[in-house]
Structure 1
Amino acid sequence: MDFANQIILVSAALITFSIFAGVLSSRIGAPLLLVFLAFGMLAGEDGPGGIVFHDFSVAYLVGSFALALILFDGGLRTSREALTRAFGPAVLLATVGVVLTAAITGLAAKFLFGLGWAEAMLLGAIVGSTDAAAVFFLLHLRGLRLKSRVAATLEVESGVNDPMAIFLTLALVTIIIHGQAIASWESALDFFWDFLWQMAGGIIFGLLGGAFVLRAVNRLELSAGLYPILAGALALLVFALTQSVGASGFLAVYLVGFTLGNNPHRATSEIARFSDGMAWLAQIGMFLMMGLLVTPSALLPVLLPALGVALVLIVVARPVAVVLCLLPYRFAPRETAFVSWVGLRGAVPIFLGTIPILSGVEGAHTMFSVVYVIVLASLILQGWTVSWAARLAEVELPPRAAPRRRVELDLPAGKGKSVVAYTVDPMSILALRHMTRLPLPAGTSVISVMRDGIVRTEGLNEGVMPGDVVMMLTTADAVATLDRLFGVRKSRAKAKDAGMIDFVLDASAGAASIADIYGLAFEPEERPLTLEEFMRSRLGKDVKEGARTRVGGVELIAMQVSDGSVHQVGLDLDPPPRETTLTTLRTRLVEMLRFLREQFLADNARS
């Protein structure tokens, strides 16, 4: 009885202190997952905590359970658009990329540690895949916004590359233990069919299981609090069944989450919030346990060569694999460099490192220590600098305005809409622009406006005031635009995101009517014009797509131009500030000096 209470006390204390330590560490930019890992080490036998934990079978069980929950949550957050946009490059990185990374890293391990070829390749396979927990955390929980194709590629790759790493690890463990070698077509085909079933079985079970979970959530009449538990339990059931037939349960559970997250159902908010909390708990628990599992003093003998392997992995193996895999998809060099850098290793390699130990591979404990050093190096070097790398590679987008108070209410399944309520912030675009009418994205309508405790249901398209509570019926696609309209206005980054256009307007609409809706300050002679005529009057007859013109504090953008005609006009309610006269003069001076230098060098070259 006392032992059980001590276990509960220690577990709760570790999780609580880890969260507090993570909050403090965020002020210095430390990766939160690194904090959890380090805290586990401090609580271990070499640290002040003195907890002795060497049960690798428990670690494998808990790691499988936690990773399944993390991948389920990752699938819930991956949009169908992101999967479509990044499917090709992500799948190539998750298969060929993992093999290339494992091979190059294994080659470095062979020469730095003097391992046999099979053992060296096993070490490479263990650290060959990026970590879903680390990548999802950096992309979603730290508020880092990246260019859409880059973010989608990293998300999907981290969600689907674990099966390849697991397959390689298990195959190489089998070769080492049983002395099998791929020396004939028969054995090679066996491995090929095994891998094919891992992937195909994971996809089949994932899609069928996702459809079953979605139907169960929509058909069963339950208490609201039971839907998240039902969805999580069924997702784990699909994971376990898929694993039991030799296919990839990790891929299957990711697809279950993806199916549930991209289809309307009756418990969208409840399942999303519950899954987010469970994913957090799974990450904290897994990283703490992996921290407890290692003995820091055992890392010292392998520290230097392990850091050498980590360096090869980070600056050679991952970049080579990324460059070769992304070459057919014409990524910009800066985008390729960033994807190469965000090859984060986390709990997955440590989790895979337990497999050789449980299988009785000779020297597996040393290999586990090497993997641990590689993970620490990756989290410190790459995790600590990912925001800086995004800015340097010019793939970071301006942060979206976040409303301080937004409430959502799901509607019954199949409606495809939800009810959202916003409190108008004094620093929101709506309040600062003093709009006479409330601009709304397509598919959104106002239900009521509450001001000073009085609910109004008439005149709802009129302007709002700070403190008003606006309740609307909207779609999931419109929430980002509403967040920006009702959120606190923040300074815009220098880079311009094409997705920051708030509304798309028909170019045949009259300028006067648009001005009345959005509060645009057209000149009196411009009000009788259509938007197309206005754009031509400002930008000339030969209007190019993407051309912008400012009207007061907003900008109009030529969105669709064909056969010399403007068909759609975009509206940006919060454009970046204009350059000052001093900035403009400085820019032109720099350009003039560059031109003169080029001319001078060209004259020297001719002489």
Structure 2
Amino acid sequence: MTGKRLASTIVTAPMVFLALGAVIAVTGLVPHDSAEVLLHPVSEIALVILLFLDAAQTDLPALRMRRVWPARMLLFGLPLAIVFGALAGWLFLPEWPLAAVLLLAAIMAPTDAALGQEVVSNTDVPIRPRRALVVESGLNDGLALPIILFFASLTAQTITQSNDNWIAFASKQLVLGPLAGVALGWMGGRVLIYAKDHALTSEAFEGIAALALAGASYLLATQIGGNGFIAAFSAGLAFGAVVQGRCKFIYEFVEGDGQLLAWSAFLLLAIALVPDAITHLTLPMFGLIMISLFIVRPLAIWLALLGTDASFLTRLFFGWFGPRGLATALFALLVVELIPHELGVQILHIAVNTVWISALLHGVTAAPGAKWYGRKVAHMGSCPETQPIEDRVRPVTMHKI
């Protein structure tokens, strides 16, 4: 009952957990050091599982056939957001190396539609726009990760003036990870289908197998020199392509235990990082965050959807509802480990401040914005937004919280 009441207000679950974590941090109920120690393993586990499950839910054939909007936002909107974000970073942080500016832009590009959960769950909004936002937010973090790792390696080499072959390191990370992930995901999917067809498994064991597959892809990639997070995402894509919706656990976990895992990460994030990030929030940083939320993402999506049947109103709607969520903060935590320098800490501060500001702004505008958009589209009569989708589609679920 409490959850239903909360869903009908402008207050979202991430806002609640971020606020609760901030209160705990200020009152000292949980020692800061303890929260920081817990944050890293919890965040890494959450990132591995959510990358795998987000990718596994993707209907790739349907995405290729009919889902023009999310494909455009992923293939054109994401790179444009990184480019425009880098230009804004260059203006507000002129003393930073170019590689670091590009790295920050890439970290701030992924979105999490579920931070404005009222948008993707409100039936006033037609199914096609809701599904487009869910598909985009489910895939853009995995697609942005290789770019982030590349620029992180380049930034580390620039700062340290190292002669190490960063190109070889980045290449191993970006090549061996996907190879390990695709191999394990495909084999795991084939084994699961065989077991289901011969009544050798149950739904409970399917869930254990899916989580084990995500962890195994991460471990295998790290052992051979690849990136475990890219491997988990690649494994999810391959696994989902093979099972094609026949693993019910994937959807149930995302809507249940997956949310609890993500909320735990938000709580620890607020306890360990938000108070310190706020104290280091400078005027240039704040200006960059505002430009990223109000100009960079909307402009990138607007341009990416030119030439499609998306209306003027829908392009504005998609441009605003691109909240920066858990992936942005977790990617920044990874960067701090790769860049043991003050610049890495500054990137983390900007990312964490972006997350809580975005959670607040997008959270409070989600419910009224969704209702307003739904009314406007309804008054438009017959339009692409309200047309039924004829491809093979799966239920709209919130991939991340």
1:37 aligned residue: 18
2:323 aligned residue: 344
1:35 corresponds to which letter in structure 2?
A: V
The answer on whether the counterparts of 1:41 and 1:295 sit within 8 Å (CA) in structure 2 is yes
1:358 aligned residue: 337
- The one-character-per-residue Cα deviations of 1:500-547 (angstroms, maximum 9, x if unpaired) are 9xxxxxxxxxxxxxxxxxxxxxxxxxxxxxxxxxxxxxxxxxxxxxxx
The answer on whether the counterparts of 1:239 and 1:250 sit within 8 Å (CA) in structure 2 is yes
Q: 1:347 to 1:29 in 2, by over 3 A?
A: same
Distance in 2 (CA, whole Å) between partners of 1:95 and 1:243 is 28
The equivalent position to 2:354 in structure 1, one of 368, 374, 385, is 374
1:255 aligns with 2:237: yes
Partner of 2:342, secondary structure, is coil
1:62 aligns with 2:31: no
The equivalent position to 2:304 in structure 1, one of 325, 332, 335, is 325
The answer on whether the counterparts of 2:188 and 2:239 sit within 8 Å (CA) in structure 1 is no
The answer on whether the counterparts of 2:54 and 2:236 sit within 8 Å (CA) in structure 1 is yes
Specify the structure having the higher radius of gyration (Cα). 1
Question: Which residues in structure 2 correspond to 1:204-243 (within 5 Å)?
Answer: 206-219=185-198, 221-222=200-201, 225-242=204-221
> Normalized against structure 1, the TM-score is what?
0.53
- The one-character-per-residue Cα deviations of 1:161-211 (angstroms, maximum 9, x if unpaired) are 223322222222222222299xxxx98899689657766775565444433
2:137 aligned residue: 158
The answer on whether the counterparts of 1:89 and 1:153 sit within 8 Å (CA) in structure 2 is yes
Distance in 1 (CA, whole Å) between partners of 2:312 and 2:131 is 17
Partner of 2:256, secondary structure, is helix
Partner of 1:327, secondary structure, is coil
Distance in 1 (CA, whole Å) between partners of 2:268 and 2:242 is 30
Structure with the largest fraction of strand: 1
The equivalent position to 2:78 in structure 1, one of 98, 103, 117, is 98
> Normalized against structure 2, the TM-score is what?
0.77
Partner of 1:94, secondary structure, is helix
Distance in 1 (CA, whole Å) between partners of 2:314 and 2:180 is 33
Q: 1:78 to 1:187 in 2, by over 3 A?
A: closer
Report deviation, 1:321: 1.5
2:192 corresponds to which letter in structure 1?
A: V
The equivalent position to 1:119 in structure 2, one of 83, 97, 100, is 100
1:310 aligns with 2:310: no
Distance in 1 (CA, whole Å) between partners of 2:173 and 2:319 is 29
Report deviation, 1:216: 3.8
The equivalent position to 2:255 in structure 1, one of 273, 276, 279, is 276
- The one-character-per-residue Cα deviations of 1:350-404 (angstroms, maximum 9, x if unpaired) are 1011123222032322322221111122111123212333343448889xxxxxx
2:352 corresponds to which letter in structure 1?
A: Y
Report deviation, 1:67: 2.6
Distance in 1 (CA, whole Å) between partners of 2:84 and 2:372 is 27
Report deviation, 1:302: 1.5
The answer on whether the counterparts of 1:109 and 1:120 sit within 8 Å (CA) in structure 2 is yes
Question: Which residues in structure 2 correspond to 1:160-175 (within 5 Å)?
Answer: 160-175=139-154
The answer on whether the counterparts of 2:7 and 2:118 sit within 8 Å (CA) in structure 1 is no
2:24 corresponds to which letter in structure 1?
A: A
Distance in 1 (CA, whole Å) between partners of 2:91 and 2:240 is 42
1:287 aligns with 2:269: no
The answer on whether the counterparts of 2:106 and 2:144 sit within 8 Å (CA) in structure 1 is yes
The equivalent position to 1:383 in structure 2, one of 345, 363, 378, is 363
Partner of 1:385, secondary structure, is helix
Higher RCO, 1 or 2 (CA under 8 Å, sep at least 6)? 2
Distance in 1 (CA, whole Å) between partners of 2:91 and 2:231 is 35
2:393 aligned residue: none
Report deviation, 1:340: 0.8
The equivalent position to 2:29 in structure 1, one of 49, 70, 92, is 49
* Equivalent residues, number: 377
2:292 corresponds to which letter in structure 1?
A: L
1:83 aligns with 2:63: yes
The answer on whether the counterparts of 1:206 and 1:256 sit within 8 Å (CA) in structure 2 is yes
Q: 1:323 to 1:298 in 2, by over 3 A?
A: closer
Distance in 2 (CA, whole Å) between partners of 1:324 and 1:252 is 28
1:110 aligned residue: 90
2:33 corresponds to which letter in structure 1?
A: F
Partner of 1:179, secondary structure, is helix
Report deviation, 1:126: 1.3
Distance in 1 (CA, whole Å) between partners of 2:47 and 2:113 is 8
Distance in 2 (CA, whole Å) between partners of 1:49 and 1:495 is 54
- The one-character-per-residue Cα deviations of 1:129-153 (angstroms, maximum 9, x if unpaired) are 1136537x5565x445643432332
Q: 1:378 to 1:71 in 2, by over 3 A?
A: same
The answer on whether the counterparts of 1:217 and 1:231 sit within 8 Å (CA) in structure 2 is no
Tell me which moved more, 322-331 or 47-56: 47-56
Distance in 2 (CA, whole Å) between partners of 1:175 and 1:26 is 43
- The one-character-per-residue Cα deviations of 1:253-296 (angstroms, maximum 9, x if unpaired) are 4425634773446xx3x664345322122111111121122151
